[in-house]
C-alpha cells in the first residue's frame, strides 16, 4: 500500500534526508587513493550518530555496515572492508539515516584521483539520467514514466540500466511501495500524487546490464566486469516540481 505523507512527515523526512545527504558528501570527499572503505564506513557511522540519527543500513536484513561502498564493477551493496581504494577507481556510496522514525536514502558515484574519460562519462550520464526522470516526477504522471525517461537517456548514451534492482517508496521504512524501476514503457504503474515520497536511483552499467550476487549474499557485480555507477535521491511529489529531500542545508 502506498502511503501519502502529511506535511509533518515530510518535514521529518527532510530532516533525515539532510543528515543523509551530508553523510554522502562526507564519504565522497574521503574517496581517494590510499583510503580504505572501512575508514569511510566508520566516519559516516560516527557522523550520522553525532547528528542524533541511526545508520539505516546497519543491521538491515543482516547487512553488517553503515554504508554500501561499491567499487568499479560492483553495482550496489559492496561491504566495507580493508580494501584500499586505488587511483582510477570509481566508488559508489549508498547511505541511509533514520531520525525520529523517518528515513533518508541517497547515493552517488565518486572518482578516486584521475579516472578514464569513459568512467567520467558513465558517472555523469548516471546522474543526468536521474534528472531526466525528475521531469516526470510530478502529480498526474505514472511511476513508469520516470523509469522510461531514465532508460531512454541511459541507452541513448550507449549504457544500460540494471533490471534486477529498482528504486522504491521511502518513509518510515527504507523500502515502501511502490517499486520505481529505471526502465519500462511509459504510462504504467501507480499514478503519482502529491505527498508521495520515493527514492529514485538509476544503476547504470558501461556494458551489459546482467548482474550476479556474490557468495556474501550482498555484493552485486556486473557479469561482464564492466564499470557501474549509481545515483539516488529521496524525493517528494508536489503540485509542481518534485522536491529533493536528501539535500544538504535542508
CATH of the domain at 197: 3.90.230.10
Dihedral over Cα of 180, 234, 103, 210: its sign: positive
Place of cell 545527504: 21
- Give residue-wise pLDDT tens across range 139-178: 999 999 999 999 999 999 999 999 999 999 999 999 999 9
Mean predicted confidence (pLDDT) in 80-93: 98
- Does residue 98 lie in a domain region? yes
2 falls within a domain: no
- Does residue 127 contact residue 107 with C-beta atoms inside 8 Å? no
Count up the domains in the chain and report the number.
Answer: 1
In angstroms, the CA 134 to CA 74 distance is 25
The structure's pTM equals: 0.97
CA torsion 153-220-208-165 (nearest 10°) is: -40
**Cα gap 243→213, rounded to integer Å:** 33
* Residue 250: inside a domain: no
Q: What is the pLDDT of residues 33-85, one digit of tens each?
A: 999 999 999 999 999 999 999 999 999 999 999 999 999 999 999 999 999 99
Q: How many Cβ atoms from other residues are within 10 Å of residue 214's Cβ?
A: 13
CB of 193 within 8 A of CB of 5? Answer: no
Q: Which domain holds residue 217?
A: 7-244
Instruction: Indicate the angle between helix axes 117-134 and 143-156, nearest 10 degrees.
Output: 150
Residue 133 counted as domain residue: yes
Share the mean pLDDT of the chain.
97
Q: Is residue 23 part of a domain?
A: yes
Phi, psi of 150 (to 5 degrees): -60, -50
Q: Does residue 101 lie in a domain region? A: yes
Q: Is residue 151 in some structural domain?
A: yes
Q: Return the closest-CA partner of residue 200 out of 238, 146, 154.
A: 146
Longest dimension (CA), the chain: 48
> In this structure, is residue 130 part of a structural domain?
yes
Bridge partners of 204?
A: 161, 229
Amino acid at each position: 500500500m502506498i502511503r501519502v505523507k502529511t506535511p509533518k512527515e515530510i518535514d521529518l523526512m527532510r530532516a533525515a534526508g539532510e543528515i543523509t545527504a551530508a553523510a554522502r558528501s562526507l564519504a565522497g570527499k574521503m574517496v581517494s587513493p590510499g583510503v580504505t572503505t572501512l575508514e569511510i564506513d566508520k566516519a559516516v557511522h560516527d557522523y550520522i550518530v553525532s547528528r542524533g540519527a541511526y545508520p539505516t543500513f546497519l543491521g538491515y536484513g543482516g547487512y553488517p555496515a553503515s554504508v554500501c561502498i561499491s567499487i568499479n564493477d560492483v553495482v550496489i551493496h559492496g561491504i566495507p572492508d580493508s580494501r584500499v581504494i586505488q587511483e582510477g577507481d570509481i566508488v559508489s556510496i549508498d547511505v541511509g539515516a533514520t531520525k525520529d522514525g523517518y528515513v533518508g536514502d541517497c547515493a552517488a558515484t565518486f572518482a578516486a584521483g584521475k579516472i578514464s574519460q569513459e568512467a567520467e562519462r558513465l558517472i555523469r550520464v548516471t546522474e543526468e539520467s536521474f534528472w531526466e526522470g525528475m521531469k516526470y516526477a510530478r502529480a498526474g504522471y505514472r511511476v513508469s514514466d520516470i523509469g522510461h525517461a531514465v532508460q531512454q537517456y541511459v541507452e541513448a548514451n550507449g549504457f544500460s540500466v540494471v533490471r534486477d534492482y529498482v528504486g522504491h517508496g521511502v518513509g518510515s521504512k527504507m523500502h515502501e511501495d511502490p517499486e520505481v524501476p529505471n526502465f519500462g514503457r511509459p504510462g504504467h504503474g501507480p499514478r503519482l500524487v502529491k505527498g508521495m515520497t520515493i527514492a529514485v536511483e538509476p544503476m547504470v552499467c558501461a556494458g551489459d546490464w546482467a548482474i550476479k550476487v556474490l557468495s556474501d549474499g550482498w555484493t552485486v557485480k556486473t557479469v561482464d566486469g564492466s564499470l557501474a555507477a549509481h545515483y539516488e535521491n529521496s524525493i517528494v511529489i508536489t503540485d509542481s516540481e518534485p522536491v529533493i529531500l536528501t539535500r544538504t542545508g535542508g
